[in-house]
Amino acid sequence: MNKFLIYDKSLEVYRLPLSYSLGDLDRIRNIFGEHSLDASIALPQLPPHIEAIDDKDKFGYLVYPPFDINTKTSNFLSKTVLHVRELKGTGYDYQHPLFKGYLLAREEAVRCLAESLEFVVAQERRLGIFNVYWLAVTKQIVNCLDEILIKTSGSQKLRYMIHPHLKSMLNQVLDQVFDKLEYRDSLTRQNIPFYRGTLKSKLGENFNFNFVNDIINVQLSLLESSISPLDPLFQIRRILVDENSEYYISYDDFVMVYESIMSWLEGHIREETEWVMKILSQVLGIPQARLNKLNLNTIIFEPQIMFTLQETLKQIPVKKTRRGLPIRKKTLIDEIGREIWNQVLLDFIKLARELQKAEIISYFRDRVTLLGKEQWKPGSGTEDRIEGLENRITYNFHSGTVINDLRQVTLLFIDLRGFTQIASGLIPVRKLKESLYEFFDPTLDIIDHFLGQIRFFAGDAVLATFSDKCSEQDRVLNAVRVGIYIQNMLRHLVTEKQLPFEGVGIGIHVGKVENAYIFKNSQDKIDTVIGLAANITSRLSSGKSTTSEHRGDPALIREFQDILQDVLERIKGKVTPNLKTEIIQIFEDRLNRFSSELSKSDAYVDLPKFKKSPGQFKVHVVGGVLDNNGIALSDEAFSEFRNHHELRSRPGRDGNIEFVFGDAVLEQEIVFTKVGDALLKGIEVTVPVWGVFPAVGRKNTTHETQ
């Protein structure tokens, strides 16, 4: 919900732009947490990702409601209108055709909503989707109710006669779904006796459920498509009709109380009466000097202020009588009557809370855009094709995938070289931990500076994404900048502080990923990104460690080395000396692992003769094997970079074409060169790989810098 807050300069608080409540988090928490055992977690939870939903760039949620709900709801409301009009006062005649039609329409509406809600909860019950579901469904119901009343020439009075039936139907849906959740919990406990959670608690009982209860039960939120922020009396007139049995107070009495309190407060704030200002400031949490900046309706419709000042309000002068003639001597309690004053005051406070809740629900509901069948096309596999909404997050409560959350992002994976071997006991754990702090503390700051978001952190590896915070044209560039800064930092740390790491492999890729959330309870969560793109990025960071390796049978290795030398002699002149050396190294590595797996007893551990020099960074692909001790880009990432930035080409030292970009931030040139097609683990096709390095300080060695 924080994503919707705006900073109010006049009050110096972050708040929602509301008229009947202050709209800050504490106030909203109290409004929806009044019946909660723990009001501190009573805020409505909503999904984390929002989209621009109109041409004015208003942000919210693009939602496909259940496609049948409009038909089922319209039928139910039509039958309900006939039921309350024709059978009012005659009791429930189960044989009457109108009542039979009403029951059948109600049963169909309940079944439609319950089935769609069960489907949604089964897929995404922990994401606040539960709240968005009810915001979307009730928005459609309210719109449908307006249409039915127009068609049937229904009055405002009829609207409040329908409300108990509509509220009862929606609560029946909730009860039916929760009964099924409890049944599933009982089955789980039969197999897992220590299972303590409940599926209902995974919905977020303390805040989601309170919020949904108010969406369904608060009259205004279920009956009105919008709440007037400027004229509360317009809204109150619609509520206080004879057919609304929830309130004792009449409209005339309400107007008299409202205008009298408004006049009294306005005078004391203008004159800055100390004791009044102090009470208002304490209850609202607003400095006294800023109270005059606040909408008076925010003060009048704050129940806590009415409770605090209830004895004082009895004695304030009445501004007007029911005839509209000014009377200066009569007080409110004299005009209302002592015998009913408490009931009138309680109704006033109840209406204030109703307006507060309805305005907040209306605010969020206004940020839900309902999409139709014409934009939704079932896709093959697990993805749905959303026509006109590609790469946009949509919430589908009809069928298929609930959240179309596949987003095109730039991913960066960082993997320290030699960590596994070092962690196996080559250095003390304390020293290893200090080394990780030395590396990752600045690494996280570098990623944050270039607008990346950490999505995964484990031991020696970090996965970051560059998406919403970063412009599309700078995403790959920022990822490359991060990689170069990290290389420079590691070079310094290895040289100055003698860190044990051999290097770092950095993979950069562009592709679609989806957010995944794992919740222990309604508050504690772990979130990351999943998808093929994330797997490719991690594979691009892979390389060889030379700290210690399993070595196979020396005689077997020498025999195969001789065979390999014969092969290389036959193709003499077709490969460079450096490439010949790399082929032999990769061959030995594969052979060592193979022979070690064949006979563990014959294998032994030895320290290799060659160890990479600290600060050397290179990326190479030989025989489809990627060894990344630098920065490796996928072809998709390089193409994305090329689409947004101008590159110049030049011949490379190994005969390949190099592409050069002058970066004003790094104040140096960045060089891209194709190093080969790699076979990555778990990826069915070969992946073209590009090596990246800063031009300054480049060694005269294939794809190598220092």
The stretches of 387-460 forming alpha helices (DSSP H) are: 419-421, 429-449
pLDDT at 40: 47
Q: pLDDT-based confidence at 266, cuts 50/70/90?
A: very high
- Polymer length in residues for the chain: 706
Structure-token pair, residue 83 = 């039921």
Closest CA to 145 of 156, 136, 135: 156
Give the N- to C-terminal CA distance of the chain in Å, as an integer: 47
* Whether residue 97 has pLDDT greater than 90: no
Stretch 380-387: mean pLDDT: 49
pLDDT at 377: 60
* Whether residue 116 has pLDDT greater than 90: yes
Distance between CA atoms of 582 and 675, rounded to whole angstroms?
13
Closest CA to 648 of 676, 669, 629: 669
Distance between CA atoms of 370 and 391, rounded to whole angstroms?
18
Task: Specify the residue for token string 């860190």.
Answer: 499
Outline which parts of the chain fall under CATH 3.30.70.1230: 409-546+615-699
Q: pLDDT-based confidence at 682, cuts 50/70/90?
A: confident
Task: Specify the residue for token string 């600290």.
Answer: 614
DSSP state, residue 424: I
> pTM score, two decimals?
0.68
pLDDT at 3: 81
Distance between CA atoms of 692 and 696, rounded to whole angstroms?
12
Residues 6+ apart with CB under 8 A from 361: 135, 214, 215, 218, 221
Percent of the chain with pLDDT over 90: 28
Distance between CA atoms of 417 and 401, rounded to whole angstroms?
39
8 A C-beta contact, residue 314 and residue 331: yes
pLDDT at 705: 37
Q: How many CB atoms lie within 10 A of CB 76?
A: 27
Task: Specify the residue for token string 């800055």.
Answer: 272
pLDDT at 604: 35
* Whether residue 322 has pLDDT greater than 60: no
pLDDT at 157: 82
CATH of domain 409-546+615-699: 3.30.70.1230
Closest CA to 352 of 390, 299, 397, 393: 299
How would you classify the pairing of strands 525-530 and 549-551?
unpaired
